[in-house]
Chains A and B, each alone.
Chain A
Amino acid sequence: MKRTAIVGCGQTDHNGNRFDVTGVELIQEAVSRALQDAELTLDDIDGVVIGNMDHFEGINGVELWSISGNGGILKPTIKLTTGGTTGSTLAIGGYHLTASGLFNKLLVIGWEKNSESDTTGAITTAFDPVWDRLVFAGAISGLAVEASAYMRKFGVTEKDAARAVVRDRKHAVKNPHAHLRREVTLDEVLRAPLLSDPIKALDICPRTDGACAVIFANEDYAEKICPKPAWVLGAANRHPYAYLGDVEWYPLKSLDLAAKELYAKLGIKEPLKEINLMELYTPYSFANLSWIEALGLAKPGEGAKLIWDGVTDAGGALPINLSGGVLSTNPIGATGLIRAAECAHQIMGRAGERQAEGVKKALSTGFGGCFWSDILIYGSEKPS
């Protein structure tokens, strides 16, 4: 049982179609940047963990197919995959595997090349072939249904949701890795074409090609590699429901339960005050209102107020998604891991133009599957 930290991160140049590289080369781009960030070489790494969603690229056994680019040749190599939560599941895996002492320096990689298939078609295959597939239409349809139930319950408006889009897209301008780096206005969001009521084109995340690599090291190595490592304080998750029809629409139960478990474990009573920064896997606008209620930042139905008050903007009391979030960049298998990397770089003081001040505790989430959630909390101080 060892304390463990993130000591280096690398992201590719994410965009809508990285036709200039193969999947293996895309992975390698993130790996070499992470190694550079940690000032390590592949020889220092004693294991590789990688994840994506198989059917998005149409390759079985991705960890073995991509091994020349992922650095796993003649090393332990493991694939983790849980759908949208893959990236955060990878971060949780990196934490457990290094904390176990079986691995000292572990390379963790999430990636997706969404441009190579029809994303909605591929996500639709995520649901039960007999019961769900006939009517289901990818992530957007499930989220639209959640939004409709949330709006109905609390009288939340499309304008409230649009404000969260404006925030994330404004933050993205300062992130050189973001896919969409153009600011948008409330009006633009509200007038964008309707995709699936009430979700409009700018309410939803883009399809992105990209990879992210994160190096985890345990206490025997972390401080030697990185002057200010981002210690992992804990993780929790919930992946309930076998069919979409089992989902209870409010609150996001998986996040509510996982957050409660982790807060209790770490003695966190007032997350809004005790956590300095969050990177949330909020793939559509309404999630930025409703899911922060599940995280205990606002009372039911009052998430929007926090957003309008600017509390979660850059410079606010609890900045959320300074990277621009998932609404600006979404290479699915990497997305949850990018959240971890962004928190880590903020703690390390390596977040460049998007750096927040005095980040002592940061929180990242992952979302996917059948309304599943993963959550991790990081700290600047080595846990006792």
Chain B
Amino acid sequence: MVQKNRLKRSDFIFIESGEAFQPFQYSVGKEGSRFFTELRDHKKFFGLKCPSCKKVYVPPRKVCGPCFKTMEEWVEVGPMGTLSAFTILRFPFIDPETGEKKPVPYGYAFILLDGASTQFQHFLKVDPDWPPTIGIRVKPVFAENRQGKLSDILHFEAA
């Protein structure tokens, strides 16, 4: 039989982990580094093309999973794309990147950049006068000060 807890929450002691966190320096690898360099320096998107199935992967990575082939052919994709799926985030949660509550609401989009076979994820600018629908054309808005990371793009918006 399932029994209810007889003691109240206030009867128990809790220990907080405090500000403890694990700092990391993530490697982006050769392929990722090229992508972010192009994005930072030229506001361009690049993917890698599989020699076997011809799919163009963004983010670029060394190997096409389904073919298990090394990819070496760079292809420029975007910057325009098509909205392939999206949602609007409305609930608050702790952003593990900052430790702060992430500001909501925000549009969360999967974008098929022109010429790419996989979707690129980013923020979607949501305008009350412009309700997004799957299939619309979108374009990136870049940050002034780009550092070679995903936030070099501020968001995507209707083209």
Interface, chain A (partner B; CB < 8 A): 13, 15, 17-20, 58, 118, 120-122, 124-125, 129-138, 140-141, 144-149, 152, 176-177, 194-199, 240-247, 249
Chain B positions within 8 Å of A134 at CB level: 97, 122-123, 150-151
Q: Sort chain B's interface into a size bin.
A: 35 or more
Chain A positions within 8 Å of B110 at CB level: 145, 244-245
Q: Which of B7, B17, B61, B108 contacts A20 (CB 8 A)?
A: B7
Q: Which of A120, A145, A148, A243 contacts B93 (CB 8 A)?
A: A120
How far, in angstroms, from A246 to B50 measured CA to CA in the complex? 14
Chain B contact residues: over half helix, strand or loop, or mixed? loop
Chain A contact residues: over half helix, strand or loop, or mixed? loop
How far, in angstroms, from A313 to B32 measured CA to CA in the complex? 49
Chain B positions within 8 Å of A144 at CB level: 87, 108
Min distance, Cβ A171 to any Cβ of chain B, angstroms? 16
Min distance, Cβ A182 to any Cβ of chain B, angstroms? 15
Q: Which of B2, B96, B97, B119 contacts A245 (CB 8 A)?
A: B119
How far, in angstroms, from A350 to B89 measured CA to CA in the complex? 42
Q: Report if B12 contacts A (CB, 8 A).
A: yes
Q: Are B150 and A130 in contact (CB under 8 A)?
A: yes
Chain B positions within 8 Å of A176 at CB level: 1-2
Min distance, Cβ B12 to any Cβ of chain A, angstroms? 5
Contact with A along B1-41 (1 / 0, CB 8 A): 11101010100101001001000101010001000000000
A-B contacts, 10 listed (Cβ < 8 Å): A20-B7, A130-B28, A131-B150, A135-B108, A135-B123, A145-B87, A145-B108, A196-B87, A198-B87, A245-B58
Which residue on chain A has the smallest CB distance to residue B91?
Answer: A195
Q: Report if B79 contacts A (CB, 8 A).
A: no
Interface centre among A134, A241, A245 (most CB of B within 10 A): A245
Using a CB-CB cutoff of 8 Å, which residues 121-159 of chain B contact chain A?
121-123, 134, 149-151
Interface centre among A132, A134, A194, A241 (most CB of B within 10 A): A134
How far, in angstroms, from A152 to B108 measured CA to CA in the complex? 17
Chain B positions within 8 Å of A247 at CB level: 119
Q: A130-B150, A242-B61, A245-B121 are in contact. Are A140 and B94 (CB under 8 A)?
A: no
Chain A positions within 8 Å of B89 at CB level: 137, 140-141, 195-196
Chain A positions within 8 Å of B84 at CB level: 149, 249
Q: A120-B93, A137-B108, A149-B134 are in contact. Are A197 and B26 (CB under 8 A)?
A: no
Q: Report if B54 contacts A (CB, 8 A).
A: no
Chain A positions within 8 Å of B108 at CB level: 135-137, 141, 144-145, 196
How far, in angstroms, from A144 to B108 measured CA to CA in the complex? 10
Q: Which of A20, A122, A140, A145 contacts B86 (CB 8 A)?
A: A145
Q: Are A137 and B86 in contact (CB under 8 A)?
A: no
Q: Report if B74 contacts A (CB, 8 A).
A: no
Q: Are B94 and A243 in contact (CB under 8 A)?
A: no
Chain B positions within 8 Å of A246 at CB level: 57, 118-119
Q: Are B93 and A13 in contact (CB under 8 A)?
A: no
Q: Are A118 and B93 in contact (CB under 8 A)?
A: yes
Which residue on chain A has the smallest CB distance to residue B27?
Answer: A130
Q: Which of B12, B26, B85, B91 contacts A19 (CB 8 A)?
A: B12
Q: Are A149 and B85 in contact (CB under 8 A)?
A: yes
Chain B positions within 8 Å of A245 at CB level: 58-59, 110, 118-121
Q: Are B96 and A122 in contact (CB under 8 A)?
A: yes
Q: Are B14 and A177 in contact (CB under 8 A)?
A: no
Given contacts A130-B150, A177-B2, A245-B118, 9 further A-B contacts (CB under 8 A): A13-B3, A133-B96, A148-B87, A176-B1, A176-B2, A196-B91, A242-B65, A246-B118, A249-B84
Chain B positions within 8 Å of A177 at CB level: 2
Q: Are B123 and A19 in contact (CB under 8 A)?
A: no
Q: A118-B93, A138-B93, A194-B90 are in contact. Are A243 and B85 (CB under 8 A)?
A: no
How far, in angstroms, from A149 to B110 measured CA to CA in the complex? 11
Q: Report if B69 contacts A (CB, 8 A).
A: no
Q: Are A121 and B94 in contact (CB under 8 A)?
A: yes
How far, in angstroms, from A197 to B61 measured CA to CA in the complex? 31
Give me the 10 closest cross-chain CB pairs, A-B, nearest first. A144-B87, A120-B93, A121-B94, A245-B119, A118-B94, A176-B2, A149-B85, A145-B85, A195-B91, A121-B96
How far, in angstroms, from A243 to B2 measured CA to CA in the complex? 41
Min distance, Cβ B47 to any Cβ of chain A, angstroms? 11
Q: Are B12 and A20 in contact (CB under 8 A)?
A: yes
Which residue on chain A has the smallest CB distance to residue B150?
Answer: A134
